[in-house]
Amino acid sequence: MESSLNKLKQWPEAIKERIMDRKQITTFDAIVIGSGQAGTPLAFKLASEGQKVAFIEKEHFGGTCVNNGCTPTKAYVASARRMWEAQHGDELGIEIPPGTKANLRAIKTRKDKLVQNSVNGIAKGVENHENISFFKGEARFEGDKIVEVNHTFLTAEEIYINVGGRPFVPDGYEDIPYLTNQSILELEELPEHLLIIGGSYIGLEFGQMFSRLGSTVTIIERGKAIIGKEDEETSQTIQRMMEEEGVDFRLGATCLSAKKNGQGGITAQINCSKEGRLEIDGSHLLLAVGRRPNTANLQLEKTGVKIDDKGFIAVNDYLETNVKGIFALGDCNGKGAFTHTAYNDYEILAENKFDGKNRKVSDRITTYGLYVDPPLGRVGITKKEAQEKGMDVLIGHRPMNKVARAREKGETKGYMSVVVDAKTKKILGATVLGVGGDEIISGLINMMYADKSYEVIRDSVQPHPTVSELIPTMLESLTKL
């Protein structure tokens, strides 16, 4: 790596003056902005291939997944599950004395250790790699291939943006002491009554976990159903099983707002009408109404890189923006909002660049999980989507209470279903909502990537007793939609 001024004449006058002031431009082979689940492995891959890499992170190594996404929330889900088990031993003939309670401070301490171990592992790897130069601070573009961080100017022919996303806070909540999926993980005392605005994935996961830990929980959703993009059966099943655990749902919440009340808590106001507003008092408010990309402060207008009206960076099938040599990965490109899609972005770039492959974003099959308990595993299209598109499909369905293994485990809530193309006999989508659903879905995902007929898995021999063995059984009796 060497300092260079040989490109200075091509740059804007204002930038030239600032750079000449410092007499320093540092040239790299690549710049990686953000240390999420795409940026981190990419930085190490580029460096291992002999490239000199500038690695920029403004906050914590690991991005959302490690710090306030998958790792911490699934640690909380596990604690909530233990709490549930302690309260339901009698269903399986186990007498557990009453008095079990959740220690949120201890739960948080365990979570913090898990997070810190991951962060420390990345930090150690960065520190020990001779080809990686780390810059802690917020990156801003000053031109197509010019990045400033902490008053230092960096340049490279290839720049990779992996800045992730943040919780969306709608207008009208600026003066309300609200929580987000990040700040709620810092609480050390359980909320007495947690109000959650948003009945989608984040709101449902936090709603169930805090209800199990001991909070009263009310979930308020504008739509007529929770997780509205899922099939009606999925939404209704999840709502019903959470209501059985004590979670209160308020759907179709129009004219929604919140205010501080005289008891030091929050009052949510919903359903404006001639009869007046319905008011619900709570001790804490969690906003779970979506996320936005962290692109606003990058000064992308100085690069010509195109973004949409929500701030997502436009990329092609190979994750390159409209400016050659600038790429966007992970949540900020709008091509997926999951750790697995971010990591796949890394794989696409790395294998195309170094292994001569031709991998594309459009080759990816949409899959995800919802980590309520029992969990939801999803892949491809839903039955609702097939109906709306007028597709000629076959449907398979099996309730979990017909699965022997689920009955033996005492966990019979939910169902599994599949959508099959009637002509090609290929699987187009599947839902497994029930015990092990987040893992079981992988078998169906593999069939879809193999691009084979559903008959292959239908005719397979699965081990007994498992939940997975009912997938072939389900596929034996497909019906027309």
User: Which CATH number applies to 368-480?
Assistant: 3.30.390.30
Q: In whole angstroms, what is the distance from residue 180 CA to residue 158 CA?
A: 34
Q: Give the pLDDT of residue 334.
A: 94
Q: Give the pLDDT of residue 23.
A: 47
Per CATH, domain 2-65+108-167+292-363 is 3.50.50.60: yes
Q: Give the pLDDT of residue 82.
A: 96
pLDDT tens, position by position, 330-379 = 999 999 889 999 999 999 999 999 999 999 999 999 999 999 999 999 99
> Average per-residue pLDDT in the chain?
93
Common-topology check for domains 2-65+108-167+292-363 and 178-289: yes
Q: In whole angstroms, what is the distance from residue 138 CA to residue 148 CA?
A: 8
Asked if residue 366 lies in contact with residue 340, where contact means CB atoms within 8 angstroms, the answer is no
Q: Give the pLDDT of residue 3.
A: 43
Q: Give the pLDDT of residue 1.
A: 43
Asked if residue 414 lies in contact with residue 401, where contact means CB atoms within 8 angstroms, the answer is no
pLDDT tens, position by position, 250-266 = 999 988 889 999 888 99
Q: Which CATH architecture has domain 178-289?
A: 3-Layer(bba) Sandwich (3.50)
Q: In whole angstroms, what is the distance from residue 307 CA to residue 305 CA?
A: 7
Residues of the chain scoring pLDDT < 70: 1-23, 272-276
pTM comes to 0.92
Q: In the chain, pLDDT over 70 holds for what percent of residues? A: 94
Q: Give the pLDDT of residue 5.
A: 46
Q: Where are the domains of the chain?
A: 2-65+108-167+292-363, 178-289, 368-480
